[in-house]
Amino acid sequence: MTNVKTDREPLFRIIKRDNIPRGKAWVIRIAAVVIAILVGALVSAILAGGSAFGAFFSGLFDGVFGTPRRILNLFQNTAILLCIALAVAPAFKMRFWNIGAEGQVLMGGLGCVVCVKYLGGKIDDNALIFVMFIMSVAFSVVWSVIPAIFKAKWRTNETLFTLMMNYVAMQLVALSIFAWVPSGSGVLGTLEHGNFPNVGGYPYIINIIIVAVMTVLMFLYFRFSKHGYELSVVGESENTAKYVGINVKKVIIRTMVLSGVLCGLAGLLLVGGTSFTLASDTVDGRGFTAILVAWLGKFSPPAMAFTSLLYVFIDQGAKNVATGVGIGDAFSEIITGIFFFLVIGCEFFINYKIKFRPRKKKEENSVEEVAA
Partner 1 sequence: MKKKIVALALVLALVVSVAVGLAACNKGDGTLIFGPEDADITFGMICLHDENSTYDKNFIDAARDLAEEKQVRVIVKTGIPESAACYDAAVDLVDQGCDIIFADSFGHEDHVVRAAREFPEVQFAHATGTKAHTNGVENYHNGFASIYEGRYLAGIVAGYKLNEMIDAGDITAEQAKMGYVGAFPYAEVVSGYTSFYLGAKSVCPSVTMEVRYTSSWYDEAAEKSTAEALIEDGCVLISQHADSMGAPTACEEAGVPNVTYNLATGTQCPKTYLVGSRINWTPYYAYLVDCLRNGTEIADDWTGTFATDSVKVLEFGAGVSDEAKAAVEAAEAALKAGTLKVFDCSKFTVDGEHLTTYMADVNTDDAFTPDTEAIETKDGVTYFAESEFRSAPYFDVRIDGITEINEA
Do the beta carbons of residue 278 and residue 173 sit within 8 Å?
yes
Q: Does 329 bind partner 1 (CB under 8 A)?
A: yes
| Cβ 279 to partner 1 shortest distance, Å | 6
Between residue 353 and residue 372, which ones bind partner 1 under the rule CB under 8 A?
A: none
Kindly list the distances between the CA atom of residue 52 and the CA atoms of 32, 56, 67, 70, 320, in Å, as whole numbers in the listed order.
21, 6, 22, 22, 13
Q: Does 121 bind partner 1 (CB under 8 A)?
A: no
Do the beta carbons of residue 292 and residue 340 sit within 8 Å?
yes
Q: Does 50 bind partner 1 (CB under 8 A)?
A: yes
356 forms bridges with which residues in the sheet? 12
If the CB atoms of residues 19 and 185 are measured against partner 1, the closer one turns out to be: 185
Between residue 2 and residue 21, which ones bind partner 1 under the rule CB under 8 A?
A: 11
Q: 7, 18, 19, 183: which one contacts partner 1 (CB under 8 A)?
A: 183
| Cβ 220 to partner 1 shortest distance, Å | 31
Q: Does 200 bind partner 1 (CB under 8 A)?
A: no
Q: 47, 138, 217, 303: which one contacts partner 1 (CB under 8 A)?
A: 47
- Measured distance between the N- and C-terminal CA atoms of the chain, rounded to whole angstroms: 18
What distance in Å separates the CA atoms of residue 325 and residue 46, rounded to the nearest whole number? 12
Segment near partner 1 (CB under 8 A), from 66-74, 129-137, 149-157, 346-354? 66-74
If the CB atoms of residues 49 and 54 are measured against partner 1, the closer one turns out to be: 49
SS3 54: helix
Segment near partner 1 (CB under 8 A), from 23-31, 91-99, 176-184, 242-250? 176-184
Q: Does 184 bind partner 1 (CB under 8 A)?
A: yes
The residue type of 184 is: G
Q: Does 279 bind partner 1 (CB under 8 A)?
A: yes
If the CB atoms of residues 76 and 307 are measured against partner 1, the closer one turns out to be: 76
Name residues whose C-beta falls within 8 Å of residue 334's C-beta, 6 or more positions apart in sequence. Answer: 43, 318
> How many residues lie near partner 1 (CB under 8 A)?
37
| Cβ 12 to partner 1 shortest distance, Å | 11
If the CB atoms of residues 34 and 187 are measured against partner 1, the closer one turns out to be: 187
What distance in Å separates the CA atoms of residue 121 and residue 103, rounded to the nearest whole number? 28
Q: CA dihedral defined by 262, 266, 271, 275, rounded to 10 degrees?
A: 180
Q: Does 129 bind partner 1 (CB under 8 A)?
A: no
Q: Does 54 bind partner 1 (CB under 8 A)?
A: no
The residue type of 226 is: K
What distance in Å separates the CA atoms of residue 300 and residue 139, rounded to the nearest whole number? 27
Name residues whose C-beta falls within 8 Å of residue 255's C-beta, 6 or more positions apart in sequence. Answer: 90, 91, 94, 96, 148, 227, 231
Residues that bind partner 1 (CB under 8 A): 11, 45-50, 66-67, 69-70, 73, 182-187, 189-190, 274-277, 279, 281-282, 284, 319, 322-329
